[in-house]
C-alpha cells in the first residue's frame, strides 16, 4: 500500500475513564493541523464503551472532513502483571505493541501522542522531523535525565519521556523492540518505577533522536522543576516554555483533578467543558 505523504497516522490509547480527556486532545490536535493534511487516528482501545466511541467519532467528524478514527485492540494479557499506579493503568503499556499492530498498514512512520495532552501546533511538523537513523524521536524527561543507571544500563545517554514519540515502524519491528521491551519488564521488574517508559528507555537507549522539548512540554518542564543537564538544554527548555507545541500533563496532578497554577489549565478545562462528553453530562 502506498501512503500519500499528506496522510499522517496518529496513535493514542485510552480506557473508558480517559475518553473525555482523549476528546480534548483530539479536538486540540485537529484545531491545529494543516488543512493540507489528512489524519488517520488510531486509538488503542482498552474497553472504551460504544457510547464513548460514538462521542469520540463525533468529536473528530465535527472538527475535520479529512480525519478518520479507528480502534485497535491489544492482547492485554501480555501486560496484566506489570506495575500500575494511581495515574498509570495497564493501558499505558499497550503502546509497546503499537508498531507490530500497525505493520499491516505499511506506514513508514507514526506519531504516538498520550491522551493527557493539549496540542498547540501543527503535528505535521513533528511528523516530518528527521529521526537521524534512529528508531524513535522523543523528548528528554527532565526529572529522569540520568535514570539509565537505575535501570542497569551503562550509557551516558539521557532518558526520554514516552508520551510523545515519532516511531519508525519498519525499524522498530526489524529490531524486535516490542519483544525486547516485554522481556525487560518480565526480567527486571524490580528496576521498574516508571512503567513502560522505563522499559522503553532500557531498550531504546542511544537509539532515539532528541526532539525539541516544545513537542512534549511535561509538567516538570512547565514549572521548571529540574535543572537542565547542559547549557544547550537550558536554552531549549526556555524556548519550549516560550512556545509549547504539545503540553503534556504528566504526573498524578491533572487539570481535571488536583493540578494547580498551570498556565494551560484554563485553556484545557475550557475545551473539556465544550466537549461532547461534558455537554452530554449537563444536558
Going along the chain from its start, the domains and CATH numbers come out as 7-282 (3.90.550.10)
**Under a CB-based contact definition with an 8 Å cutoff, are residues 219 and 148 in contact?**
no
DSSP letter for 142, please: G
The pTM score is 0.91
pLDDT of residue 172: 92
pLDDT of residue 74: 66
Buried b (16+ CB within 10 A) or exposed e, 139-157: bbbbbbbebbebbebeeeb
Q: What is the pLDDT of residues 59-115, one digit of tens each?
A: 999 999 999 999 987 655 555 544 443 444 455 566 677 777 777 888 999 999 999
- Provide the pairing of β-strand 7-15 with 38-46: parallel
The C-alpha atoms of residue 266 and residue 262 are separated, in whole angstroms, by 8
pLDDT of residue 203: 95
Q: If DSSP codes are grouped into helix, strand and coil, which group holds residue 131?
A: coil
Query: Cα–Cα distances in Å, from 237 out to 118, 126, 158, 216?
Result: 18, 17, 15, 11
pLDDT of residue 75: 58
pLDDT of residue 82: 46
pLDDT of residue 1: 42
**Under a CB-based contact definition with an 8 Å cutoff, are residues 88 and 249 in contact?**
no
Q: Hey, what's the cell of 202?
A: 532500557
pLDDT of residue 2: 44
Residue closest to 108 by CA, chosen among 164, 43, 165, 168: 168
pLDDT of residue 179: 87
Share of the chain above pLDDT 70, in %: 89
pLDDT of residue 92: 54
pLDDT of residue 3: 55
pLDDT of residue 147: 84
Helix (H) or strand (E) holding 244: none
Helix ranges restricted to H, the chain: 19-32, 50-63, 98-102, 123-127, 169-174, 177-187, 195-204, 219-222, 231-242, 265-274, 276-282
The C-alpha atoms of residue 131 and residue 127 are separated, in whole angstroms, by 10
At 36, phi and psi to the nearest 5?
Answer: -80, -10
CA dihedral 40, 44, 49, 50 (to 10 degrees): 30
Angle in degrees, CA 13, 19, 22, rounded to 5: 65
- What residues of the chain score a pLDDT lower than 70? 1-5, 74-95, 280-283
Amino acid at each position: 500500500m502506498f501512503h500519500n505523504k499528506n496522510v499522517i497516522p496518529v496513535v493514542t490509547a485510552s480506557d473508558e475513564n480517559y475518553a473525555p480527556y482523549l476528546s480534548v486532545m483530539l479536538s486540540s490536535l485537529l484545531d491545529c493541523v494543516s488543512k493540507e493534511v489528512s489524519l488517520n487516528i488510531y486509538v488503542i482501545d482498552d474497553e472504551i464503551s460504544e457510547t464513548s466511541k460514538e462521542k469520540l467519532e463525533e468529536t473528530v467528524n465535527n472538527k475535520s472532513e479529512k480525519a478518520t478514527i479507528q480502534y485497535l485492540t491489544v492482547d492485554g494479557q501480555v501486560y496484566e502483571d506489570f506495575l500500575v499506579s494511581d495515574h498509570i493503568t495497564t493501558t499505558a503499556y499497550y503502546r509497546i505493541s503499537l508498531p507490530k499492530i500497525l505493520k499491516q498498514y505499511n506506514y513508514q512512520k507514526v506519531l504516538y501522542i498520550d491522551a493527557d495532552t493539549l496540542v498547540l501546533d501543527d503535528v505535521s511538523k513533528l511528523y516530518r522531523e528527521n529521526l537521524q537513523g534512529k528508531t524513535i524521536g522523543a523528548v528528554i524527561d527532565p526529572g529522569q535525565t540520568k535514570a539509565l543507571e537505575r535501570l542497569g544500563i551503562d550509557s551516558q545517554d539521557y532518558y526520554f519521556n514516552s508520551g510523545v514519540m515519532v516511531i519508525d515502524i519498519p525499524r522498530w519491528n526489524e529490531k524486535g523492540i516490542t519483544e525486547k521491551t516485554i522481556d525487560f519488564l518480565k526480567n527486571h521488574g524490580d528496576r521498574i518505577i516508571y512503567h513502560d517508559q522505563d522499559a522503553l528507555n532500557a531498550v531504546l537507549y542511544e537509539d532515539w533522536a532528541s526532539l525539541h522539548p516544545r513537542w512534549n512540554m511535561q509538567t516538570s518542564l512547565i514549572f521548571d522543576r529540574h535543572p537542565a543537564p547542559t547549557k544547550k538544554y537550558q536554552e531549549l527548555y526556555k524556548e519550549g516554555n516560550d512556545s509549547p507545541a504539545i503540553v503534556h500533563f504528566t504526573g498524578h496532578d491533572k487539570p481535571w483533578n488536583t493540578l494547580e497554577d498551570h498556565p494551560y489549565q484554563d485553556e484545557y478545562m475550557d475545551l473539556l467543558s465544550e466537549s461532547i462528553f461534558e455537554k452530554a453530562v449537563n444536558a
